[in-house]
Amino acid sequence: MYLSSSRSPAGLIAFSTLALVGCNETSETQHKHVEQTENSTQTKQTKISEGIDLSMFTEGAFAQPPKIVDCTTSEGTETMCYQFVTSGAPAGREPGPFCPRNTSDGAEAGGGWFNKEGSGDLVDITGEFILKLGEYYGDEKWLVYDAKTNKVRYTATKAACLGAARPDVEEQYKQNCIECELAYLDDDFSLTYLIPTTPIPAKKSSRVHTVGIALDGAELSGPAPVNAILGSYTIAAFDDCGGHINVHQGYHYHSTTGCTDKAVQTDDGHAPLIGYAADGYGIYAMKNAEGKEESLDECRGTTDEIRGYHYHAASPSENMFIGCMHGETVRPAGPPAGSPPDGQRPPEAK
Ligand SMILES: [Zn+2]
Ligand SMILES: [Zn+2]
């Protein structure tokens, strides 16, 4: 998948590959996928709906009607891709709330954040959570509120959002609950994604920074740089849906908490669809109707006779959706002038 933002040369951003590291499936596992696919193809009455079904997206997910265009994958395969253009906002709802305003505020006033265990549900960002950050992280330096007024320190302006939502947080924006608004995006902000119309299994699984696109059109992003965030005594608050805003990616998810879940019309109790990965395979919720998980490969994928190859998302606090890309993804042959070299993203990243 290839993504560009219309405004910045930064644009290619999200599309830079993180490098083909780790997560290489064993040839044995790959073999199994192939066999399974062949087997299910032989069962003629079974229709495999592998890849993107446009009707699953929320109305308003795209800024322009999706188009089908020629594209070339990173692996050099010439194929056809959907070209999705989004406005950087989730369709059908207003993002937020993110940061509570007062240390006495309850869960409804704030969103969520990765819990320190790194798996399971997000922790609610309540006033009390802000108050007890030092205790929570075992570091008494945390002070994200004014001890006299009990007001939570949060990024209330565009300048503060820009200063705080970057890896090298300016001193004055440390000790802040970070939140940004969609209003801070440029007027003609847009993001473009290219995703193969028919997924192509890759010889080797890979990792790309942008994981994919949720059914509401918002980006499913790569991992948030949690160490840098916490190291600056900041919380890059999510809303209860597991997403937050920056000026490079608009509203984007780091976690899936059910907000984009869409039940698929099958009666096998399979987990709901949440979005599509950059390689075109579907990403489903972690658990099925009975609360059970399927057995998955390193990419968090599996194959069945109805959906073909597909992924199941990790739990909300794992700071990831899938383990790696099973299929080929598209990125530009060469970055346009002015854009950062591959792998070097502009200050995002939160
Ligand atoms: Zn499944
Ligand atoms: Zn982020």
| Cα 99 to ligand 2 centroid, rounded to whole Å | 15
Residue 256: CB atoms within 10 Å: 24
Give the list of residues 6+ apart from residue 338 with CB closer than 8 angstroms, or none: 9
Residue 206 is inside which H or E element, if any? strand 201-206
Which residue, chain included where needed, has tokens 């709906």?
49
How far from the centroid of its chain's Cα atoms is residue 347's Cα?
Answer: 17
CA angle, 60 then 66 then 70, to 5°: 160
| CB burial string 331-340: b at 16+ within 10 A, e below | bbeebeeebb
CA dist list (Å): 91 to 248, 254, 259, 337: 18, 17, 11, 32
| Cα 258 to ligand 2 centroid, rounded to whole Å | 18
Which two tokens mark 153?
A: 């320190």
| Cα 219 to ligand 2 centroid, rounded to whole Å | 10
Residue 308 CA: which ligand is closest?
1
**What span, in angstroms and rounded, lies between the C-alpha atoms of 174 and 164?**
7
| Cα 340 to ligand 2 centroid, rounded to whole Å | 19
Mean pLDDT of the chain: 85
pLDDT confidence bin for 213, thresholds 50/70/90: very high
Residue 167 CA: which ligand is closest?
2
pLDDT tens profile 138-152:
999 999 999 999 999
Q: What is the pTM of this model?
A: 0.84
Q: Which residues are within 5 Å of ligand 2 (an ion), measured at CB?
A: 224, 350
| Cα 331 to ligand 2 centroid, rounded to whole Å | 20
Which two tokens mark 199?
A: 């997924």
Residue spans of the domains in the chain: they are: 1-350
pLDDT tens profile 238-280:
999 999 999 999 999 999 999 999 988 677 899 999 999 999 9
Q: What is the pLDDT of residue 151?
A: 98
Choice between 49 and 349, residue whose per-residue pLDDT is larger: 49
CA angle, 33 then 39 then 43, to 5°: 140
Residue 255 CA: which ligand is closest?
2
Sign of CA dihedral 283, 288, 291, 296: negative
pLDDT tens profile 154-210:
999 999 999 998 778 889 999 999 999 999 999 999 999 999 999 999 999 998 889
pLDDT tens profile 98-136:
999 999 999 999 999 999 999 999 999 999 999 999 999
| Cα 238 to ligand 2 centroid, rounded to whole Å | 9
Which two tokens mark 230?
A: 């916490």
Question: Which of 185, 212, 4 lies closest to 89, judged by CA?
Answer: 185
| Cα 312 to ligand 1 centroid, rounded to whole Å | 6
* pLDDT of 333 above 60: no
Residue 282 CA: which ligand is closest?
1
Beta bridge partners, 79, equal 71
Residue 273 CA: which ligand is closest?
1
